[in-house]
Amino acid sequence: FLRRLQILRIVHSIEEERTRKSKADLKRLFSLAKDETWLCVGGLLALVASCVSQVVAPYFFGKVIDSAMDSMDALDKMILILFGIYVGGAVCSFIRAYVFVLAGHRLVARLRKRLFGNIVRQEIAFFDENRTGELTNRLSSDTQMIQNALTVNLSMLLRYTIQIIGSIVLMFVVSPALTGVLLASIPVVAIGAVLYGEFMKRLRKNFQDELAAVGVTAEETISSIRTVRTFCSERKSEDFYCKGINQSYQIGKRLALAEGSFNGLVLTISQGAVVLVLWYGAKLVYDGRHNKPGISFGTLASFMVYSMNVAMAFGMLAALYGDFMQAVGASIRIFELLDRKPMIPCSGGNRLPFLDGRLEFQKVSFTYPTKQESQVLKEVTFTVSPGNMVALVGPSGGGKSTIVSLIERFYDPDSGRILLGGCDLQTLDPQWFRQKISVVSQEPTLFATSIKENITYGREANMEEVIDAAKKANAHDFIMSFENGYNTVVGERGIRLSGGQKQRIAIARALIMDPALLLLDEATSALDAESEHLVKEAIDRVMQERTVLVIAHRLSTVRNASKVIVVEKGRIVECGTHKELLEKGGIYKKLVLRQLTAGSADFGGD
Ligand code: ADP
C-alpha cells in the first residue's frame, strides 16, 4: 500500500511539474510578443469596435424598417447611421487584420534573428551533434507555427472571448436561472479543452521533430547532388525522404483525428447544454403559464439565441486552444535553442598587447564529444617557437587536423594545456586570438560573393592590400583574366574556380590578416600541374618569416621545417629535424621512402 502511495505521489508530482512547465511555456510564448504589446492593444481596440458594430448593426437594421413607416427624412437618417456603422466596422476589421498580421511578422523576424544569432555562436561540437537541415528547419518551420499562433489565432481567441463574455452578461440580464444551467456545462468543456491541448502540444512537438529530421535528409541530398548523381542514388534518397515524410504523415493523421474528435466532442457537449437549457426553459414557461413563478416565451426565445452564440464561440475557442498548445509544442525546441549557452564562448577573455606566435601543447588529451568511445589525442606535447616552421606528418586519421582544430579552440582538450604566446588558450579572448591565427585548409570554403569580398572576409582592407595579398598568393594574374576582375562573383551562380585557384584565394585571405601563427594544410592531389606549382610557390612564400604549423604532404616542406612531428594514433611517435629522423630510421624514414618510391605528392602515407 505504501509503495502504491509512493508511486501515486510521484505520478502526482510529475503531473504537477508538467502543468507548471506547460504554464511556463505558455507564459514564455506570450512574452515573445512583449515588444508588440502596443500593436496588439491597438488591434484589440479595433477588434472590440468591430464586434460592437456587429452587435448594434441589427438593432439599426430594425430601426430602418420601422422608420420607413414614419417619414422619408427619418429613413434617410437611419440609413446613414447604418451605413456609418458598417463602414466603421469595415475600417476596424481592416485595422485589426493588418495590425495583428504585422505584429506576427515583426515577432517572427525578431525571433529568427535572435535564434540565428545564438545558433552561429554555439561551439563547433554543437554542429557535430545537430545537423544543418534540422537547424534550418527549426528556423523556418517552427518559428512559422509560433507566428500563426500568436497572431491570427490570438485575434480570433480574443474575438470569441469577447463574444462569450458579452453574451453571458446579457444572458444574466434576461434570465439568471437559465444562465446558471448553461454555465454548469462550461467546466466540462474547459477540462476537455485543457486535456486536449496538452495532448496536441506533445503530438505537435513530435511532428515538428520528425519534420526537422526529414529536413536533414533533404538538405544533405540537395547539397551533395553531384555525389548523389554519380552513384545514381536519387531513388535511394527519395525512398529515404519518403520514409521520413510518411512517418510525419502518420503523426499528422493522429493530429487530424484528434482535432476532428475533439471538435465533435465539444459540439456534443455544448449542444447538449443548449438542449438542457431548452428543456429547463420550456419547463419554466410551462410553470409561468400555470400560475407558478416562470418566464415568458419571448424571454426563452432570446435566451436561446444567446446560448447558441455562446456554444458556438466556446466550440471555436476550444479548438483555438488546441492550436495554441501546438504552437507551445513547437516552441519548446525553439526555447531550448534560444537558451543554449555555448560551451566555448565566441568572445570574452584576455587580449595580449603583443603575440609572437609561440605555441605549446602540454600533455594534451582529447576525445570528440560525439565519439566518446575513442580518444583521438593522447598526451600530446610539442612546441612551435616564434618564426619557425613545424611540420606535422603521419598516417591519415592520426589526429593532425584535430590538433589544428584545438589550436583554433573549436574544442577544449579533456586534459592538458594549450598555450599561445605563453598564455592558456582558455583564458584568451577567442575573438582576438582567432584574428591572429590564419588557417588555409586543403579544400577551402569560399562564399558566393565577389573575389574581393572573399579575400577581405576576415577584416576590412583597401584595394591595394587586396592586390598585394593576391599577388603574394599567385592569384592576381588569374583574377585579372576574368572580365570583372576582383568583382567576379564566385561559387553558386558565379564563376566556378578550380581547386588550385580556390586555394590561392584562400591563401590571399589568410595573408591579409597578417597572422602571428599560420596553420596550413597542404593540398595533396586534385591540382593540375600548373596550379600545383603556383600553389606551392605561394605557400613557400607565405611561410617565410612567419610562425607556421603545417600538415605536410610534400618532401620539400619537411626538408625546410625546423622540426618534424610524426603523429600516429593520437600520439607523437617521433620528433626531430628531417635529417635526424632519417638517421633514426623509424616510422618517418618509412614514410619518406614510401613517398619516394610511390612518387606521390601525399606525405601522409594514406
Ligand atoms: P588526420 O588529420 O591525421 O587525418 P584527424 O584529426 O582528422 O586525423 O582525425 C583523427 C580521428 O578523429 C579520426 O579517427 C576521425 O575519425 C576522428 N574525427 C575527426 N573529426 C571528428 C569529428 N568532428 N567528430 C568525431 N570524430 C572526428
- For 14-61, the DSSP string reads HHHHHHHHHHHHHHHHHHTTGGGHHHHHHHHHHHHHHHHHHHHHHHHH
Give nearest CA residue, ligand 1 atom 23: 128
pLDDT band, residue 362 (cuts 50/70/90): very high
Comparing CA positions, the residue from 386, 393, 418 lying closest to residue 576 is: 393
pLDDT digits (tens, 9 = 90+) for 281-326: 889 889 888 888 877 777 777 777 777 777 778 777 777 777 777 7
pLDDT score recorded for residue 11: 60
Average pLDDT over residues 420-446: 89
The region of weakest confidence among 29-38, 296-305, 454-463 is 296-305
Question: What are the Cα distances from residue 405, in Å, to 22, 399, 434, 441, 565?
Answer: 41, 10, 11, 11, 17
- The helices-and-strands tally (H runs, E runs) of the chain is 22, 10
Q: How far apart are alpha carbons 423 and 405 in whole angstroms?
A: 18
More confident residue, 316 or 413: 413
pLDDT score recorded for residue 419: 94
Pairing of strands 563-568, 389-393: parallel
Q: Is the pLDDT of residue 538 over 50?
A: yes
Average pLDDT over residues 321-332: 76
CB of 398 shorter than 6 A to ligand 1: yes
The region of weakest confidence among 445-459, 504-518, 589-603 is 589-603
Mean pLDDT of the residues in the chain: 83
Q: Is the pLDDT of residue 603 over 50?
A: yes
The SS3 assignment for 546 reads coil
Q: Is the pLDDT of residue 582 over 60?
A: yes
pLDDT band, residue 367 (cuts 50/70/90): very high
Closest atom of ligand 1 relative to the 124 alpha carbon: 23
Copy the grid coordinates of residue 325: 498548445
Average pLDDT over residues 380-400: 90
Copy the grid coordinates of residue 477: 594574374
Q: How far apart are alpha carbons 380 and 360 in whole angstroms?
A: 10
Q: Is the pLDDT of residue 120 over 50?
A: yes
CB of 584 shorter than 6 A to ligand 1: no
Sequential DSSP letters for 136-163 = HHIIIIIHHHHHHIIIIIHHHHHHHHHH
pLDDT score recorded for residue 365: 95
Contacts of 270 (CB under 8 A, 6+ apart): 185, 189, 311, 312, 314, 315
More confident residue, 257 or 543: 257
Phi-psi region of 576 (alpha: psi -120 to 50; beta: other; left: phi over 0): left
Phi-psi region of 98 (alpha: psi -120 to 50; beta: other; left: phi over 0): alpha
Q: How far apart are alpha carbons 330 and 207 in whole angstroms?
A: 9
The H-or-E segment that residue 583 falls in is helix 578-584
Copy the grid coordinates of residue 218: 533533404
Give nearest CA residue, ligand 1 atom 24: 368
The type of residue at 229 is: R
pLDDT score recorded for residue 606: 43
Contacts of 467 (CB under 8 A, 6+ apart): 476, 486
Are 170 and 306 in contact by the 8 Å Cβ rule? The answer is yes
What number of CA atoms fall less than 13 Å from residue 167's CA on the CB side? 24
Give nearest CA residue, ligand 1 atom 14: 397
Length of the chain counted residue by residue: 606
pLDDT score recorded for residue 494: 62
Comparing CA positions, the residue from 297, 328, 476 lying closest to residue 22 is: 328
pLDDT score recorded for residue 153: 74
pLDDT band, residue 280 (cuts 50/70/90): confident
Q: Which residues pair with 490 in a beta bridge?
A: 495
What number of CA atoms fall less than 13 Å from residue 435's CA on the CB side? 14
Mutate to test the pocket of ligand 1, among 132, 371, 571 (most ligand atoms within 8 A of CB): 371
The region of weakest confidence among 56-60, 87-91, 204-208, 476-480 is 56-60
Per cent of the chain over pLDDT 70 is: 90
The region of weakest confidence among 16-25, 119-128, 309-318, 547-556 is 16-25
**Would the pTM of this model clear 0.95, i.e. be above it?**
no
Comparing CA positions, the residue from 442, 425, 445, 468 lying closest to residue 550 is: 442
Q: How far apart are alpha carbons 193 and 221 in whole angstroms?
A: 41
pLDDT band, residue 117 (cuts 50/70/90): very high
Q: How far apart are alpha carbons 515 and 439 in whole angstroms?
A: 9
The SS3 assignment for 310 reads helix
pLDDT band, residue 584 (cuts 50/70/90): confident
pLDDT band, residue 23 (cuts 50/70/90): low
CB of 371 shorter than 6 A to ligand 1: yes
Are 205 and 25 in contact by the 8 Å Cβ rule? The answer is no
Ligand 1 midpoint to CA 574 (Å): 20
Query: Is the Cα dihedral 65, 66, 69, 75 positive or negative?
Result: negative
pLDDT digits (tens, 9 = 90+) for 154-213: 778 777 887 788 778 877 877 788 888 778 777 776 787 778 777 887 888 888 888 888
Q: How far apart are alpha carbons 494 and 487 in whole angstroms?
A: 11
pLDDT score recorded for residue 12: 63
Mutate to test the pocket of ligand 1, among 361, 366, 402 (most ligand atoms within 8 A of CB): 402
Q: How far apart are alpha carbons 381 and 572 in whole angstroms?
A: 8
